[in-house]
């Protein structure tokens, strides 16, 4: 083989994302929510009332993934949606409160990860994004 299997860029990136997810997940154990859902809540917190599709654009997620996550978040009353076919989504009061509770945990996790990565690590991540787009 031309390259060593250990170099496989796919499995390496998969592993890295599992590691990072694990950090966030361990902080979320008391909440009935996932890393991905947390990110969606944060997007809503930032963007206010938006069309569902905008969330996917922001996070580069499949429509179906967004659709199902929105449904899960709605089931727990963290978000409200208009009844249109292309609904507009926004945080509910309960969702807003959750976000306020999640932010410090998210920040702690980011602190943790940034401590591990260092400034140069963050640069490496940014560079990877720039070249892989």
Site for DNA in 90-119 (CB under 7 A): none
Taking the complex as a whole, the smallest distance from the CB of residue 94 to DNA amounts, in Å, to: 17
Question: CA 69, CA 39: separation in Å to the nearest integer?
Answer: 11
Taking the complex as a whole, the smallest distance from the CB of residue 130 to DNA amounts, in Å, to: 19
Pick what 30 binds: DNA, a second copy, none; C-beta below 5 to 8 Å, kind-dependent.
none
Task: Pick from 53, 90, 96, 125 the residue near DNA by CB under 7 A.
Answer: 53
Closest alpha carbon to 49 in 26, 81, 76, 12: 81
Interaction between residue 14 and DNA (CB under 7 A): yes
- Residues 57, 58, 59, 64, CA torsion sign: negative
Taking the complex as a whole, the smallest distance from the CB of residue 83 to DNA amounts, in Å, to: 9
Pick what 67 binds: DNA, a second copy, none; C-beta below 5 to 8 Å, kind-dependent.
DNA
């Amino acid at each position: 083989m031309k390259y060593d299997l250990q170099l496989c860029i796919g499995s390496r990136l998969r592993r890295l994302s599992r590691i990072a997810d694990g950090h966030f997940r361990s902080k979320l154990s008391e909440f009935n929510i996932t890393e991905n859902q947390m990110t969606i809540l944060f997007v809503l917190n930032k963007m206010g009332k938006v069309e569902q599709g905008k969330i996917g654009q922001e996070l580069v997620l499949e429509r179906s993934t967004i659709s199902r996550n929105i449904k899960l978040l709605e089931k727990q009353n963290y978000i409200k949606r208009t009844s249109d076919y292309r609904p507009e989504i926004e945080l509910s009061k309960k969702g807003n409160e959750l976000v306020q509770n999640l932010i410090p945990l998210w920040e702690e996790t980011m602190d943790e990860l940034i401590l591990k990565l260092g400034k140069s690590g963050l640069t490496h991540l940014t560079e990877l994004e720039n070249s892989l787009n």
